[in-house]
Amino acid sequence: MIYRCSVCRKTSFETQCLWCARISTQGAGSVQSTGLQVPLDPSFYPDFQYQSKGFIKDFLGKKKEQAQLNDMLRNVLNKYAELKKPYFANYIYTGRAGEAETQDAATPGARVNGSYSNRELFREVLIRKGFAELEEVPHLLDKLLLTTSFNAAYLGFATEISRHIKGSMFDILKSWINEAGTSFRDDLSLFFYFMWDHDFQIPQVPFTQQASTNFGTPLLSWDTIKTWLHECERIHFNILVERLAVKLEHFDPNLFVTMYHVDAMDGYGFEKFLAELFQTAGFDVEGTKLSGDQGADLFVTRLGKKIVIQAKNYSGNVGNAAVQEAIAAKSFYSCDEAMVVTNSYFTRSALELANTTGVRLVSRRELQVYLDDYNQQIIERFRASDRIDAPTAQSASPGS
């Protein structure tokens, strides 16, 4: 009963995304635009729910049609559960699931002079594994792949959030937001789903238990989510104020790295600094034997995902070539993701290519965020060492 919007990527308990819904007035009417709501549990796709056809037809045919839907659902989900690992999960991790749907033929099987997308081939693999329903309903494959991707994201989120579960609700939220930053705006519903899924009792949060079995019934009301979102915004604001206060008190220009320092680095220095930057952010970092080897400057790993990074310390804009090198390196080294990091900006064509191929681009603006976190870690280390030294100073004071 939790969904992730295919457009804004935010999670919610609603069957329509209320986060990205935009109302544009056109004369006396209005048009509402939202993304596809991808459920964590595939049984909550609307395709598996009976659609009302009016009182008379519902009275005469609902039971029979719902029984047919239930049979199809049971068959598909049983096979999905068996093949989710390794077939579905591995297909997601190969990075092939995002190919354009226009390449796929509506009818499975071979055709004259056929050019087949990887998804078409995957569909045929599943049909031969017993998914006969995919011959009837080809778009069902896309839905199952989206759900698999959402499950993979939730697994990573659950691993991360479990480290913050201690103390009161306020303590948990503060610990999470302190580390995750503004991602709470996207994942607040996912946070509450985790709490419900792990049977945490929260008096302030009125979960609707029937939501797990009733399609269209939200686990938490939209008003409750908005109330907690405002509370999270207050927590985030206070964290930012506290950080700035500490920074102003302990700022040392000799320790902090500014973007101007980064601009002055040569290519090798930039790669070395990125390694330190990602290590500070909690990644395992591995350099390549030779700088630029097969389009890879760094490898970073977190939560089992290996990312290849192409580093570009430029004074001008970074173009398509860097994105192409990252794509080639991802394939050559069998990485899960590819990233290009620069102290500059990207050309429009580089942005379009990256968006099509799933390469993540970190421009000067995003790099500044990493830089701020890096400098914040310096402050945190300073504060930690200050706390460690405090008892020693006290014991040395007169009269102790």
Q: Angle CA(386)–CA(392)–CA(398) in degrees, nearest 5?
A: 120
- Sign of the C-alpha dihedral computed for residues 68, 72, 75 and 81 taken in this order: negative
CA distances from 43 to 16, 68, 387 (A): 16, 14, 52
What average pLDDT does range 273-281 have in this prediction? 88
Question: Reduced to 3 states, what is the DSSP secondary structure of residue 156?
Answer: helix
Tokens of 364: 């000067």
What mean pLDDT is reported for the chain?
Answer: 80
Q: Give the whole-angstrom CA distance, residue 172 versus residue 231.
A: 13
Residue 323: alpha-carbon gap to chain centroid: 21
Q: CB within 8 A of 263, min separation 6: which ones?
A: 313, 315, 343
Per-residue model confidence as pLDDT tens digits over 121-169? 888 888 898 888 887 777 788 888 888 888 888 888 898 899 899 889 9
270 touches 313 (CB < 8 A): yes
Per-residue model confidence as pLDDT tens digits over 104-115? 666 777 888 778
Tokens 């792990």 belong to residue:
198
Per-residue model confidence as pLDDT tens digits over 318-363? 999 999 999 988 888 888 899 999 999 999 999 989 988 889 999 9
Q: Give the whole-angstrom CA distance, residue 54 versus residue 51.
A: 9
71 touches 135 (CB < 8 A): no
Question: Reduced to 3 states, what is the DSSP secondary structure of residue 258?
Answer: coil
Tokens of 315: 């004074």
- pLDDT value of position 399: 37
Which domains does the chain possess?
A: 40-154 (no CATH), 169-250 (no CATH), 259-376 (3.40.1350.10)
H or E segment to which residue 38 belongs: strand 37-39
Residue 64: alpha-carbon gap to chain centroid: 40
269 touches 283 (CB < 8 A): no
Q: Is the pLDDT of residue 289 over 70?
A: no
Per-residue model confidence as pLDDT tens digits over 354-400? 988 889 999 999 999 889 888 888 777 766 665 444 443 333 333 33
Question: Reduced to 3 states, what is the DSSP secondary structure of residue 340?
Answer: strand
Q: Which amino acid is at 275?
A: A
Q: CB within 8 A of 318, min separation 6: which ones?
A: 312, 340, 342, 344, 345, 346, 347, 350
Q: Give the whole-angstrom CA distance, residue 352 versus residue 324.
A: 12
Half-sphere exposure of 255 (CA within 13 A, CB side): 14
Per-residue model confidence as pLDDT tens digits over 250-274? 666 677 788 989 999 998 899 989 9
Tokens of 276: 């330190």
Per-residue model confidence as pLDDT tens digits over 223-257? 999 999 999 999 999 999 988 887 777 666 677 78
Q: Is the pLDDT of residue 80 over 60?
A: yes
Q: Angle CA(102)–CA(17)–CA(338) in degrees, nearest 5?
A: 55
- pLDDT value of position 96: 47
- pLDDT value of position 340: 95
Q: Give the whole-angstrom CA distance, residue 377 versus residue 385.
A: 12
- pLDDT value of position 64: 60
